[in-house]
A = this chain, B = another copy of it.
Amino acid sequence: MSDAWERLLPKLEEMRDIGHAIRLLMWDQAVMMPPKGNAGRASSLATLETLYHGRLVDPAVGDLLAELDDDPSLDTTRAASVRVLRREYDRSTRVPEDLVRALATARAEAYQVWTEARPKSDFAMLEPYLAKLFELKKQEADAIGYPVERYDALLDAFEPGATTADLERLFGDLVDGLKPVADAVLDAAGDPPGFLFDEFDEDRQRAFCEQLVTQLGFDMDAGRLDTSPHPFTIMIGLNDVRQTTRTNRRQLLSSIYAALHETGHALYELGLPEELAGLPAGAVPSLGMHESQSRLWENQVGRSRPFTDYLLPELKRVFPEELGMLSPDEFHRGVNHPSHSLIRVEADEVTYNLHVVLRFRLELALFRDELSVADLPAAWNDGMEANLGLRPSNDAEGVLQDMHWAIGSMGYFPTYTIGTLNAAAIFAAARAGIDGLDDDLRAGDCTRLLAWLRDNVHAHAYLAPASELFERITGGPLTVTPFLDYLRDKYAAIYDLP
């Protein structure tokens, strides 16, 4: 038995500690930093990321990995860390340094231009930068390598092991299954309940969200809840996981459901096993698995009838004048009111995934060289019309709405839908495993659900790939059935559909 693991460990700990600082720099930039501090912050972040990257691609790490790959004397958790690190090491070392730098520059430029182009709805401004970035991302994918096609390499960064072929099949099934549900729900929905447009004091929204996330099991001594324009969750380090929500006077539900969503992410990070903290196998195994937890708390829990029946009286305590007369039926309908929107982040549970599928298909066509960046806006608008029956009147509400491509996150979008599908399947398994779960939720008691998720999801960290973990939890591979069943059941109950 070699001492290669003992020699690797201090390197992993150093990377963990540099990563801690990087994540704090990022959190602070989004939540606390005064605006004029941005240039200094960008420089510090770039330097620390270079230090981190240098440690990851250090040839000494490669030598240690060569000693450790398939070392039969490693226990299972160390072997898992070696597998995860091997993946990251190979992905990182295969991309030449000059391409890494070119990508960093192109991303920074495209993002900057995107922030200017979006308010002007001027895709032509962004086009050359985006074309450059897509070109570089193709080179990156080719450098990393792939089993079947280029897009696999990009997807693999966020959803290790997922393949383009699997997603095409899965997303095809999803679109086929969703369209009739979407049509029926939109027909039945009628006008939105009036409280969705009332005004609610933002300080009280914030205080309510704090109480709510604590009630769900988020430990305020091991994290924070702040506000930021784009809600997010970030693990700074062991026992320090920070989430944000956003408040808007005229959108009470926005702060609450953002908090429920981010709490799902945060509870996952806080549930990872402490003994693996900072080790490669101590992380979440994929973005889709991460998103499964946020969607589950936001939707399967947060928009369920038992939970909205718990939530409304709590809300009435904080907003007695505004909500005093609201009925449980009306509140539940409001929480689930379908919004047939041009904008992904405003979409409801039914149409949300049609937005994602469109992006996936456009990305795929671009990486297959079947579509050019110049033709993106038209392809986007045609796709929206075909899939949602809506056509954007300008690019701000079309192809320019999301920042993902401008920051080089190609292959990221599908993880939203993988997460949605995972959530429905995992919640179905939880419900089967927890007797009387609805009664718990009706009482606002999430203790048993959280314990089940800790045992069945969180505790497994990245000891196995996400797809293996998923199969162990749900007993089979990912399909669209649990999600479609969940949607049909929910809306059948709300609108008396057949």
Contact = CB atoms under 8 A, between A and B. Distances in A.
Interface of A: 13-14, 16-18, 20-22, 24-25, 28, 32-37, 39-41, 43-44, 46-48, 51, 219-224, 236-240, 277
Copies of this chain present in the complex amount to: 2
A240 B41 CA distance: 9
20 contacts: A13-B43, A13-B47, A17-B44, A17-B46, A17-B47, A18-B44, A18-B47, A18-B48, A20-B40, A24-B24, A33-B236, A33-B240, A34-B219, A34-B223, A34-B240, A39-B238, A39-B239, A41-B237, A41-B240, A44-B237
A236 B40 contact: yes
A376 B220 CA distance: 41
A323 to B, nearest CB: 26
A71 B236 CA distance: 45
Contacts of A238: 37, 39-40
Given A32-B32, A36-B240, A37-B238, 14 more contacts: A17-B43, A18-B47, A20-B41, A20-B43, A34-B219, A34-B220, A34-B222, A35-B221, A36-B219, A36-B239, A37-B222, A40-B237, A41-B240, A43-B237
Q: Give the interface SS of chain A, mostly helix, strand, loop or mixed.
A: helix
Contacts of A222: 34, 36-37
A236 B34 CA distance: 11
Contacts of A277: 40
A221 B34 contact: yes
Contacts of A40: 20, 236-240, 277
A240 B43 CA distance: 13
Contacts of A39: 238-239
A274 to B, nearest CB: 10
Nearest to A40: B237
A239 B17 contact: no
Nearest to A21: B21
B48 A17 contact: yes
A224 B22 CA distance: 20
Nearest to A37: B240
Nearest to A278: B40
A480 B1 CA distance: 71
A34 B219 CA distance: 9
Nearest first, the 9 closest Cβ-Cβ pairs linking A and B are: A37-B240, A40-B237, A17-B47, A36-B239, A20-B44, A40-B238, A17-B44, A36-B222, A21-B21
A48 B22 CA distance: 11
A221 B37 CA distance: 8
Nearest to A50: B14
Contact of A236 (B18, B35, B37, B236): B37
Contacts of A16: 43
A237 B37 contact: yes
Contacts of A221: 34-36
Contacts of A21: 21-22, 24-25, 44, 48
Contacts of A35: 221
A14 B47 contact: yes
A223 B224 CA distance: 21
A483 to B, nearest CB: 35
Nearest to A28: B24
